[in-house]
Amino acid sequence: MAATSGAGVERTLVLLKPDAVARGLVGRLVARFEDAALKIVGVKMKHLDAESTRRHYFDLEERAGSVIYNATAEFMQSSPVVALALEGVDVVGKVRKIIGGTFPEHAEIGTIRGDFAHQTRLSSETTGKAVMNLVHASGNPEEAKYEISVWFTGSELFEYRTLAEKYAY
């Protein structure tokens, strides 16, 4: 699963969550990653069931409690999500910058969450609903490897060279 394009090249997982899909933002969000010279090496749309939600969020209940896990699971199973495996130099860090802070009220304008997500942490806690922040992205390279393996088989990940790689790597 390791990328072979050059030094510092890695892969990460991005999920375009149900709110992004329902709002018709998939193309605009994917364009942000492509505009940053990140390469899509895997893409699929999937409706999560309880088992796939548990595999992806395997430690959320332990870290945050059952109330947050249940709200997140319900939200993630409410509509299809689009999973992207992205590749690039320091891709985990770049994607985290592109998407912005976890809570939309802390996300800078110019980031995905700062531009498109408007729910606050307080409103989420008050309503008992998951934070609708449009995207999930792996937090570090180790997490990315695990998450990509949950979402993609080896045959669903592609090796190819983009024109941008000629200049970026």
Predicted model pTM: 0.92
Give the tens place of pLDDT for each residue, 44-89.
999 999 999 999 999 999 998 898 899 999 999 999 999 999 999 9
Q: Is residue 166 part of a domain?
A: no
Domains identified in the chain, total number:
1
CA distance readout (Å), 107 to 72, 81, 139:
20, 22, 16
Cβ(138)–Cβ(13) below 8 Å: yes
Q: Is 123 exposed, middle or buried (0-12, 13-18, 19+ CB in 10 A)?
A: middle
Other CB atoms within 10 A of residue 125 CB: 13
Q: Which CATH number belongs to the domain containing residue 42 in this structure?
A: 3.30.70.141
pLDDT of the residue at 122: 86
On whether residue 36 sits in a domain, the answer given is: yes
Active-site positions?
A: 136
User: Is 138 a member of any domain?
Assistant: yes
In a domain, 146, yes or no: yes
Answer whether residue 3 is part of any domain. Answer: no
17 assigned to some structural domain:
yes
Can you list the residues of the chain whose pLDDT is less than 70? 1-6, 168-169
Segment (H or E) for 68: helix 66-76
Structural domain includes residue 2: no
Does residue 39 lie within any of the structural domains? Answer: yes
Residue 135 belongs to domain spanning: 9-160
